[in-house]
């Protein structure tokens, strides 16, 4: 399944501050649980995990933080365009949104975000 560019743009569009705060709370509460389920299905999971650390980093510019929080909030929602529980298809729409977000803010994802991402992924693999 291919998600339309227009839909990705809508998902990543700027939102009011209160909505961004709700997204951040949703991401913080559900990211690691979703990450563990998606690790085998998302080929660039290290980038996604680094994006999480970039999004919660206070030094990340607001615009980049907003794009990442939008994509990550979409990622942690179990019911989106293609529900995540559909085996083999569930993360296809998430991949398109996440890839667009990572590409848009790549310059803000720093080596320390990748270091933390690798640690979190290693920890998740040992728990599985």
CA–CA gap between residue 27 and residue 88 (Å, rounded): 23
**Section 8-22 average pLDDT:** 89
The whole model's pTM is what? 0.84
Angle, CA of 62, 66 and 72, to the nearest 5°? 140
Mean pLDDT, the chain, as a whole number?
A: 85
Instruction: Enumerate residues 6+ apart whose C-beta is below 8 A from 28.
Output: 56
CA–CA gap between residue 118 and residue 43 (Å, rounded): 14
Residues in the chain: 128
Nearest alpha carbon to residue 32 among 105, 122, 109, 103: 122
- 35: containing domain: 5-127
Give 102-117 pLDDT, tens digit per residue.
Answer: 999 999 999 999 999 9
Looking at residue 70, what is its pLDDT?
A: 95
What is the number of structural domains in the chain? 1
């Amino acid at each position: 399944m291919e998600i339309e560019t227009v839909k990705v743009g809508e998902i990543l569009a700027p939102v009011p501050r209160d909505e961004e705060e709700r997204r951040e709370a949703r991401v913080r509460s559900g990211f690691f649980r979703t990450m563990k389920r998606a690790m085998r299905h998302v080929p660039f999971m290290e980038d996604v995990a680094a994006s999480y650390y970039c999004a919660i980093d206070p030094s990340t510019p607001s615009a980049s933080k907003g794009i990442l929080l939008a994509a990550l909030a979409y990622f942690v929602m179990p019911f989106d365009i293609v529900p995540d529980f559909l085996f083999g298809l569930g993360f296809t729409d998430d991949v398109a949104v996440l890839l667009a977000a990572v590409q848009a803010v790549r310059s803000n994802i720093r080596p320390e975000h990748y270091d933390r991402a690798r640690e979190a992924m290693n920890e998740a693999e040992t728990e599985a």
